[in-house]
């Protein structure tokens, strides 16, 4: 895998050794969190491991993600540091998005039919509001809600999602009682993805008015963390990291428990002589930073999945004509599309394509669905600008750095349902 951490770092191939679990805080619980910390000429901060990654559906692809190596990426713009996916995943992503949108329009059609059936039984004439209420739920299921605090339990994503730079770190989480005592029996070490807002809130710890320079000499930083709210989304939005001065640390306040449990926990936290060393250790132990399936295996699993998604694939002919016209080539590359049983589907798609071909060449009207396609295409290109990271082309710019040096524009939005704390 290719590790980007602070500045562009060494390309390393590694396998996970401890298989850390993702940190999923319990609702309405307070914690003390411990992050790996380092200091060099660029400053002090939380150590992280950043990799180029694409998220996958385990059932469809046989893996949760794929981490890119140098050979998987092509430089698009060496000045801006833009690169694109050169693997089969680029094609898979477009196919997966097309099938996802087909499933969406099929669900809308089925919903409308159900409204018509229900109303016909009552003798009433369907109104726009009757259709809209049912459609809103489907829209949120397939495309999400505009309300960041709304939880959507049945949210559905394309089985191959966009590429991104994922930034991860290790964290030791110690639950705290209402009385402020640590419960080391429930403490554990996890991995955690650092989103844009998480980065900002973590970096704020270092500018706290009570910040003690002595903290910089430790291989870790201790912070308080309260995860309170009616929902995970709300708790995530309201959560903050609080600086813990050395005299308020668990080590000082609970010396016996610390000696019995805390010291042992801290021994396992990533540490090293440089940020590169720590990033490599985090990468070794963080499942999202490692590949457990080859691209050939992922592609084979995806082909099998396509054979089970016949209903959604057949619904491609229901997509808007301008979308079919623009996505025609990728549609024809869908595994199973050339099977005998799909001949009628292909005939319908060809008819729509041919009927609208001239319109597509003149530039189709941009629909809501097509806008989503453009967004997906941008993700496929992995058009990510490396400011503080340097550029992929300038491989001599190697190194690593604190989280504060990672360009926030490179960090992903929230992906773990915690409201992007």
pLDDT digits (tens, 9 = 90+) for 45-85: 999 998 889 999 999 999 999 999 888 988 777 566 567 89
Checking if the pLDDT of 174 tops 90, the result is: yes
Q: How far apart are CA 314 and CA 106, in angstroms?
A: 9
Residue 120 reports pLDDT greater than 50: yes
What pLDDT score does 162 carry?
Answer: 85
Range name among 72-76, 146-150, 384-388 with the lowest pLDDT average: 384-388
Query: 263-319: per-residue pLDDT in tens?
Result: 999 999 999 999 999 999 999 999 999 999 999 999 999 999 999 998 899 999 999
Reduced to 3 states (helix: H, G, I; strand: E, B; else coil), residue 67 is strand
> In this predicted model, what pLDDT tens digit does every residue of 315-346 receive, in sequence order?
999 999 988 988 899 999 999 888 888 999 99
- Give dist(CA 242, CA 55) in Å, integer: 31
13-41 average pLDDT score: 83
Q: What does the pLDDT read at residue 42?
A: 86
In the chain, what is the straight-line distance between the N-terminal and C-terminal CA atoms, in Å?
Answer: 27
Which one is predicted more confidently, 153 or 96? Answer: 96
- Give alpha helix (H) positions in 54-87: 58-61
Q: Are strands 188-193 and 21-22 parallel, antiparallel or unpaired?
A: parallel
Q: What does pLDDT average to over the chain?
A: 81
Query: What are the beta bridge partners of residue 400?
Result: none
pLDDT computed for residue 146 by the predictor = 87
Task: Give pLDDT, residue 149.
Answer: 75
pLDDT at 362: 38
Percent of the chain predicted with pLDDT > 90 = 59
Categorize the per-residue pLDDT at 355 as very low, low, confident or very high, splitting at 50, 70 and 90: confident
- Please name which of 396, 410, 402 lies closest in space to residue 83, comparing C-alpha atoms: 410
pLDDT at residue 165 in the model: 82
pLDDT at 9: 28
Nearest one of 4, 1, 53, 68 to 401, comparing CA atoms: 4
pLDDT at 195: 87
What does the pLDDT look like over 220-247, one tens digit per residue? Answer: 999 999 999 988 888 988 898 999 999 9
**What integer pLDDT is reported at residue 420 of this predicted model?**
43
What is residue 279's predicted lDDT score, i.e. its pLDDT? 93
Top mean pLDDT of 162-166, 275-279, 405-409 is at 275-279
Q: What is residue 8's predicted lDDT score, i.e. its pLDDT? A: 27
pLDDT at 377 over 50: no
410 vs 135 pLDDT, higher one: 135
For residue 310, give the H/E element and its range.
helix 310-314
Specify the pLDDT at position 55. Answer: 92
């Amino acid at each position: 895998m290719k590790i980007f951490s602070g500045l562009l770092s060494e390309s390393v191939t590694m396998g996970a050794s401890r298989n850390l679990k993702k940190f999923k805080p319990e609702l309405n619980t307070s914690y003390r969190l411990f992050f790996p910390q380092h200091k060099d000429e660029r400053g002090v901060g939380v150590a992280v491991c950043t990799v180029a990654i694409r998220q996958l559906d385990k059932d469809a692809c046989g893996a949760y993600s794929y981490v890119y190596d140098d050979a998987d990426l092509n430089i698009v713009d060496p000045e801006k540091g833009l690169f694109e996916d050169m693997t089969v995943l680029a094609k898979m992503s477009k196919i997966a998005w097309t099938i996802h949108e087909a499933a969406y329009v099929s669900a809308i059609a089925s919903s409308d039919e159900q409204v018509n059936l229900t109303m016909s039984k009552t003798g009433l004439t369907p109104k726009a509001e009757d259709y809209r209420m049912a459609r809103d739920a489907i829209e949120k299921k397939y495309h999400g809600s505009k309300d960041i605090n709304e939880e959507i339990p049945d949210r559905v994503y394309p089985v191959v999602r966009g590429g991104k730079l994922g930034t991860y770190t290790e964290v030791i989480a110690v639950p705290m009682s209402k009385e402020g005592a640590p419960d080391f029996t429930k403490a554990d070490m996890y991995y955690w993805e650092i989103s844009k807002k998480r980065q900002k809130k973590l970096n704020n710890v270092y500018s706290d008015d009570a910040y003690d320079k002595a903290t910089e000499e430790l291989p870790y930083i201790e912070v308080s963390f309260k995860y309170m709210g009616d929902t995970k989304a709300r708790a995530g939005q309201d959560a903050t990291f609080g600086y813990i001065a050395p005299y308020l640390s668990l080590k000082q306040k609970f010396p016996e428990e610390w000696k019995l449990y805390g010291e042992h926990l801290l021994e396992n936290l990533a540490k090293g002589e440089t940020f590169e060393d720590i990033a490599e250790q985090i990468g070794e132990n963080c499942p999202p930073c490692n590949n457990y399936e080859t691209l050939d295996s992922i592609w084979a699993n995806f082909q099998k999945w396509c054979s089970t998604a016949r209903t959604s694939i057949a619904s491609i002919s229901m997509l808007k004509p301008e979308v079919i016209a623009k996505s025609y080539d990728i549609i024809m590359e869908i595994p199973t599309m050339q099977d005998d049983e799909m001949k009628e589907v292909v005939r319908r798609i060809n008819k729509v394509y041919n009927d609208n071909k001239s319109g597509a060449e003149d530039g189709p009207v941009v629909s809501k669905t097509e806008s989503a396609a453009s967004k997906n295409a941008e993700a496929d290109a992995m058009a990510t600008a490396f400011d503080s990271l340097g550029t992929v082309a300038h491989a001599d710019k190697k190194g690593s750095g604190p989280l504060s040096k990672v360009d926030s524009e490179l960090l992903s939005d929230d992906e773990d349902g915690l409201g992007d704390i």
